Every structure is written in structure tokens, then in C-alpha cells.
Amino acid sequence: MYQNLIIINLLVFIIEIFDRQFIYLFGFIPEYLFIEPWRLVTSIFLHANFFHIFLNMFVLYNIGPLIERRIGSIEFLKLYLISGIVGNILFGLVAYSGIIPTNTIGIGASGAIAGLLGAAFLFYPYLNILFLFIIPMPMYVFFFFYILIEFAGIFTMNYTGIGSAAHLGGVIAGYFYSKYLYDKYW
């Protein structure tokens, strides 16, 4: 399943290269939440630039197989979509709180990818990863820093353009959905 998600994301990105209007038609815009709710899902497959899609697909390629083997393809897809949707909902709540404008466009698989990190924290807390591609640390340490960075990032989203609220919502949703699966099956 993770390979299919990579392919879909890449195909959509190719479309975006030729038609930037795609972002405005399918990106998540909080003020459209109740009139165009499908944007909660469609925005998960859009990316701003090559670096954005590269980072998301890099993590999906590296963490995806571990999580998919653990929970199966159907639950993996549910985890991915739920995390992305919850990430967008938190992004919308932050917009309606006044931190960012409600017409801000949110795009990217980052919330869904963050959900995979939440699952990895639960299932593989001692997995060694490279923070910033250079600093080795176990997942449980990375998870702590990730939560802190994304929480702080909510208050700078106007300046950075990074959807920290979507990341935070995704990682929390990913953790709790994985915890639900863990409690149910293990």
C-alpha cells in the first residue's frame, strides 16, 4: 500500500507541475471546510515543491513498510488517511482561532506522514533514526522533540508557511489510532 501511495503522490505532483490551479482547486482551505469537505482528503496528495514531496515520500518509503507489515495494508491506509484528515482539522481549528487566516491553503502528506511517526513511536520506540539526517537517536527521543517542535511551530506558521498544526494533528491521530489497533489485536 505504501508504494501505491507514493505513486499516487508522484502522479498528482506531476499534474501540479503542469497546472498549479490544482492546488487551489483541491488544497485544504479552512473557510471551505463545510462547503467542500472533500478537501480534507484531496489536499493530502498535493505538494508545494520538489523538496516538500521528496521529504514526505522519503519518510513514507522508509517508515511505511515497517508500519504496514505490523498492521496490514487496509489498516495502514486507514491510518494514513485518518492522520491526514485529523491533521487538516487541527490546521482548520488553528486558522479559526486567528493564528493564521482562514483562507490559508494547506497542502501535503505531512499530516499523514506524521501519523506514521506516531505509529512508529508506539510500535518501534527503540528504532534508531537520524534526526535532521545526521543526529542518531531512538524514536522515543525523536518523538518528544518532534511534538515540541511542531507545537511551537503552530505559533510561527504565518511566517514559515509550514503547517505545524497539520503535523501535530497527524502525529497525535497516528499514535492514538495505532494504540487502538494495538489494544484490539495485541
pLDDT for 56-111, tens place per residue? 999 999 999 999 999 999 999 999 999 999 999 999 999 999 998 999 999 999 99
pLDDT at 156: 81
Q: Is the pLDDT of residue 4 over 80?
A: yes
Catalytic residue IDs = 110, 167
Q: Is the pLDDT of residue 48 over 70?
A: yes
Residue type, 112: A
pLDDT tens for 131-157 read 777 889 999 999 999 999 999 988 887
Is there a contact between 12 and 25 (Cβ–Cβ < 8 Å)? no
Residue 159 banded pLDDT, cuts 50, 70, 90: low
Task: Please state the domain extents for the chain.
Answer: 2-185
CA 3, 8, 9, 14 dihedral sign is positive
Strands in 112-157 per DSSP E = 128-131, 135-138
Average pLDDT over every residue of 18-34? 94
Grid cell locating 28: 485544504
pTM for the whole structure: 0.93
pLDDT at 185: 81
The span from the CA of 149 to the CA of 171, in Å, is 12
Give the range among 55-64, 112-121, 152-161 with minimum mean pLDDT: 152-161
pLDDT at 110: 95
CATH superfamily, with its number, for domain 2-185: Rhomboid-like (1.20.1540.10)
Cα 26 to the center of its chain, rounded Å: 16
pLDDT at 54: 96
Q: Quote the percentage of the chain above a pLDDT of 70.
A: 98
Average pLDDT, the chain: 93
Instruction: Name the one residue in this structure whose C-alpha cell is 507541475.
Output: 17
